[in-house]
Chains A and B, each alone.
Chain A
Amino acid sequence: MKFTWFHLMPYRFLPEDFKQKYHSVWVDIPRSLYDPKIGHQLYNEYLDSLEFADQVGFDGLGVNEHHQNGYGMMPSPNIMAAALARRTSRANLVVLGNSIALYNPPIRVAEEFAMLDVLSGGRLVAGFPVGTSMDTNFCYGEQPALLREKYYEAHDLIIKAWTARDIFSFNGKFTQLRYVNLWPRPLQQPHPPVWIPGGGSIETWEFCARHDYQYSFLSFIGHMHGRRITDGYWETMNRLNKEPNPYSLGFVQTMAVAPTDAEAERIFSPYMDYFYNRCLHIYSGFADAPGYRTIDTIKYGLLAQYGRPQMSGLSWKEFVDGGYIIAGSPKTVRERLTEALKTLRCGHLMALLQFGSMPAEVTRMSTELFAREVMPHLRGLWSEYQDRWSPHPLPPAERAQPAPIGGASAERTGTPRQTLAGREVSK
């Protein structure tokens, strides 16, 4: 069982009457609500939390891409991954991901991911989401009807750019390039593992199955409502005769650990309230531009036999009972999480341990308890399967170490690094 500590990087200081007074947390959230000085503190606080997760033994550090969004302050998750590459050394950098249809040309993503992979010594997970309708259609103006086609083309181009041995030309419908010649190219061969974050489009399951990619269901609806999607994924894998390997499924779950169940409720319920009632106040007209979802996916949703998750106005008890959050003492979390992971057949958990307005010290406590008293008990789960979707970094002996800050300048710049010493080109 593998664990990624996943950060959304929410703005923690939306006003109390946000839901009543403002239209949406996404797309047209007033820019006056963002204070860059607070933003400065938050980015640094959040990077501290991710670095802490590395230290306490999480397998991956997760970041993602959103635009014009009050609960996700990472228009470019690659920048955060770059910051993490230097101050962490063990955990994988799980970038979930870059909405590849948005970049012109999509080679940009191939280049930046290659840079991150080389910089981090091969610790990158490359996430290729289609992207939400809010991000792609409303914020970035992509035509809904053509987005998916553009996405598939961008995917083909990036994979070919990573794997081709020679320069090639690319004559696509959306991108035409005379000279595709990736420099630098990724460290992991043939390329970093690809995870496809999805929001429930049924086409994505087949796409993952066909390419042997990991599918990560990213949502805030929790393990009970999420089953509608994961069941659909496993049915697709079964229909296509693919191995039901739990490591091929990632799942986001909001979680919170405190010494006792009662303390968990007392400590975390304000942050949960902030998350669902302020952060997730999304105008429904931005959720699904016509053409963003295919007719097949719409029909699948309309025929759903499970109830639709309710996303606001819930009490702590309802959040817990409805599986939106797994919270409580380490024992409670252990039990509920084990059951959830088994039901979902999930081998890569995206642990959302910071949510809403939760400050650094609370995040740290919950993270530490999770790492110490929950994670070790679940490690053995799925040990009969091989995880084919985690990165293959360089062995520690071959990795570059950032020089200590403040060392003598001669020491830092005058001599080449030891690992490169033998390869200096003589003039």
Chain B
Amino acid sequence: MKTQQSIGGGRFSVELFTYGSGEPLLFLHGAGGLFEPDPALELLGRDFRVIAPHLPGFGESTGAEKIDNVIDAALFFHQLMDDLHLDSAYIVGHSMGGMLAAEVAALDVHRARKLVLVAPAGFWLEEHPIPDFFAADPRELPGLIFHDPNSPLAQAMMQMPEDREQMAAMYVERVKRMTMAGKFLWPIPDRGLKKRAYRISAPTLLVWGASDRLIPPVYAGAFKSHIRNCSEVVIAEAGHAVLHEQTQQFCDAVKRFLQQ
């Protein structure tokens, strides 16, 4: 179900997708935004009440100009939880959303009952530089995001509409999203999480696609060295888009961790 929700006394109007019922699970998307409908969230919706907001600057969500940095974004999510009457929730974040989920949990340790970080951004390892996806040739993107860039899934995601106006609209939407993403990721996706991650007390699961070429699995080590209660699942034949490439395995791993 999709609704438009006023957050923070009208400061933001947020496009909110919800799936299923059960214990609340807040999902924070990556720089690519949410799919409508999203197969992974649908599947998680069988066991949880999945709440997936579009961050301001994405889709129909407004108020992007009020968010300049990760702290603003984390406080936005705190406010969203307040307005949805969620004292705490399972929080799952993918890529940029993983970075923001970690900030949400570090700034207020009571918000996350459990935390799932899926190929999260937020650290920078000199010896494993994350490729500059802002400058990447569109033709190189499938190779960075997918285990198999020639898979039907990868091809479908890279499909451009033929109609000129639709293509222009898609381009504008992409620029809007990446503009917002740049506030957390440009030019290097490190905004000091390493100073704050020690605060995270929620049991944390890292999920990585074994062949992630955008944020390689070696980054799990950085998170594990900062977050005290942290385990890891690596899923084979999956890249950065692990939740869409191996949806069943991904959802099983998340479910097992959250319900154990």
Enumerate chain A interface residues (CB-CB to B < 8 A).
Answer: 137-138, 141, 143-146, 283-286, 289-291, 293, 295, 298-299, 302
**Residue pair B134, A289 in contact (C-beta under 8 Å):** yes
Chain B residues with CB below 8 A from A286, complex form: 135
CB–CB A145/B180 < 8 A: yes
Looking at the complex, which one of A138, A146, A284, A295 makes contact with B172 (CB distance below 8 Å)?
A295
Give B255 Cβ to nearest chain A Cβ, in Å: 35
User: Can you name the residue of chain A whose Cβ is closest to the Cβ of B173?
Assistant: A295
**Also in contact, A143 and B183, with CB within 8 A (given A298-B171, A298-B175, A302-B168):** yes
Which among A145, A298, A299, A302 is the interface contact of B182 at CB below 8 angstroms? A145
A146:B183 contact, CB within 8 angstroms: yes
Contact at A283–B171, with CB atoms within 8 Å?
A: no
Chain B residues with CB under 8 A of A289: 134-135, 182, 186
Q: A137-B186, A144-B182, A289-B134 are in contact. Are A302 and B171 (CB under 8 A)?
A: yes
Q: Is B244 an interface residue (CB 8 A)?
A: no
Is B68 part of the binding interface, using a Cβ–Cβ cutoff of 8 Å? yes
A contact patch SS = helix
Q: How far is the CA of A295 from the CA of B135 in the complex (A)?
A: 18
Chain B residue nearest in CB terms to A287: B135
Q: Are B175 and A291 in contact, CB atoms less than 8 angstroms apart?
A: yes
What is the bound-complex CA distance between A384 and B134, given in angstroms? 49
Binding site for A on B (CB under 8 A): 68, 134-137, 168, 171-172, 174-183, 186-188
- A138: which of B135, B180, B188 is its contact (CB, 8 Å)? B135
4 other A-B residue contacts (CB within 8 Å) besides A144-B182, A285-B137, A302-B171: A146-B68, A283-B135, A291-B175, A299-B168
For the complex, give the distance between the alpha carbons of A143 and B168 in Å: 24
Is the pair B172, A290 in contact by a Cβ cutoff of 8 Å? no
12 A–B contacts from the bound complex (CB under 8 Å)? A138-B187, A141-B187, A143-B186, A144-B182, A145-B68, A284-B137, A286-B135, A289-B182, A290-B134, A290-B177, A293-B175, A298-B172
Q: Decide: A291 and B135 in contact? CB cutoff 8 A.
A: no
Q: Find chain A residues with CB under 8 A from B188 CB.
A: 141
Q: Across the interface, do B175 and A143 meet the contact criterion of CB distance under 8 Å?
A: no
Tell me which of B68, B137, B178, B187 contacts A290 (CB under 8 A). B178
Structural contact, B68 and A295, CB atoms closer than 8 A: no
In the complex, the answer to whether A291 meets B187 with C-beta atoms within 8 Å is: no
* A295 & B182 in contact (Cβ 8 Å cutoff): no
Task: Report if A290-B168 is in contact (Cβ < 8 Å); known contacts: A137-B187, A143-B183, A144-B182.
Answer: no
Rounded to whole Å, the gap between the CB of B53 and the closest CB of chain A is: 20
Are A143 and B182 touching (Cβ within 8 A)? yes
User: Whole-angstrom distance from the CB of B208 to the nearest CB of chain A?
Assistant: 26
A302 CA to B183 CA in the complex, in Å?
A: 25
Query: Which residues of B lie under 8 Å from residue A284 when comparing CB positions?
Result: 137
- CB-defined contacts of B171 to chain A, threshold 8 Å: 298, 302
* A146 surroundings in chain B (CB, below 8 A): 68, 183
Residues in A whose Cβ lies below 8 Å from that of B177: 290
Q: How far is the CA of A221 from the CA of B178 in the complex (A)?
A: 28
Q: In whole angstroms, how far apart are the Cα atoms of A299 and B181 in the complex?
A: 20
Q: CA A291 – CA B172 in complex, angstroms?
A: 10
Could you say which residues of chain A place their CB within 8 Å of the CB of B183? 143, 145-146
* B168, B176, B183, B186 pick with most chain A CB within 10 angstroms: B186
Given known pairs A143-B186, A144-B186, the reply for A291 and B178 (CB within 8 Å) is: yes
Chain A residue at minimal CB-CB distance from B178 = A290
A101: min CB distance to chain B, Å: 14
CB distance from B76 to the nearest CB of A (A): 15
Q: Which residue of A lies closest to B181 (CB)?
A: A290
In angstroms, Cα B171 to Cα A302, docked, is 10
Q: In the docked arrangement, what's the CA distance between A289 and B188, Å?
A: 14
Contact in complex: A285, B136 (CB < 8 Å): yes
Chain B residues within an 8 Å CB radius of A302: 168, 171-172
Top 9 nearest A-B pairs (CB, nearest first) are: A291-B179, A290-B178, A285-B135, A141-B187, A302-B168, A145-B179, A290-B175, A143-B186, A290-B179
Specify which chain B residues have a CB less than 8 angstroms from the CB of A293 in the assembled complex. Answer: 175
- Bound-state CA distance A298–B174 (Å) is 12
Cα distance A285–B133 when bound, in Å?
Answer: 9
Residues of A within 8 A of B137 (CB): 284-285
Q: Is B176 touching A295 in the complex (CB atoms < 8 A)?
A: yes
List residues of chain B with CB within 8 A of the CB of A290: 134, 174-175, 177-179, 181-182
Residue of A nearest to B183 (CB): A145
B170 vs chain A, min Cβ distance (A): 11
In the complex, A143 Cα to B180 Cα: how many Å? 10
Measured between alpha carbons, how far is A283 from B134 in the docked complex, in Å?
13
Q: How far is the CA of A290 from the CA of B177 in the complex (A)?
A: 8
Q: How far is the CB of A173 from chain B (nearest CB, A)?
A: 9
Compute how far the CA of A109 lies from the CA of B122 in the bound complex, rounded to whole angstroms.
34
Instruction: Write the chain A residue with the least CB distance to B68.
Output: A146
Given the complex, which residues of B lie within 8 Å of A138, measured CB to CB?
135, 187
CA distance A286 to B168 in the complex (A): 20
Residue of B nearest to A140 (CB): B187
CA distance A143 to B172 in the complex (A): 18
Cβ contact within 8 Å between B182 and A291? yes
Provided the pairs A290-B174, A302-B171 are in contact, do residues A144 and B135 lie with their beta carbons within 8 angstroms?
Answer: no
For A285, list chain B residues within 8 Å (CB): 134-137
Q: In whole angstroms, what is the CA distance A141 to B188 when docked?
A: 9
Chain B residue at minimal CB-CB distance from A289: B134
Task: Give Cα A143–Cα B134 distance, bound, in whole angstroms.
Answer: 12
With a 10 A CB-CB cut-off, give which of A283, A289, A290, A295 has the most chain B CB atoms.
A290
Give the distance to chain B from A372, nearest Cβ to Cβ, in Å. 46
Q: Which residues of A contact B187 (CB under 8 A)?
A: 137-138, 141, 143
Beyond A138-B135, A290-B134, whether A144 also contacts B172 by CB under 8 A is no
Q: How far is the CB of B133 from chain A (nearest CB, A)?
A: 10
| Chain A residues with CB below 8 A from B175, complex form | 290-291, 293, 295, 298
Shortest distance between the CB of B143 and any CB in chain A (Å)? 14
Q: Chain B contacts of A291 at CB under 8 A?
A: 175, 178-179, 182
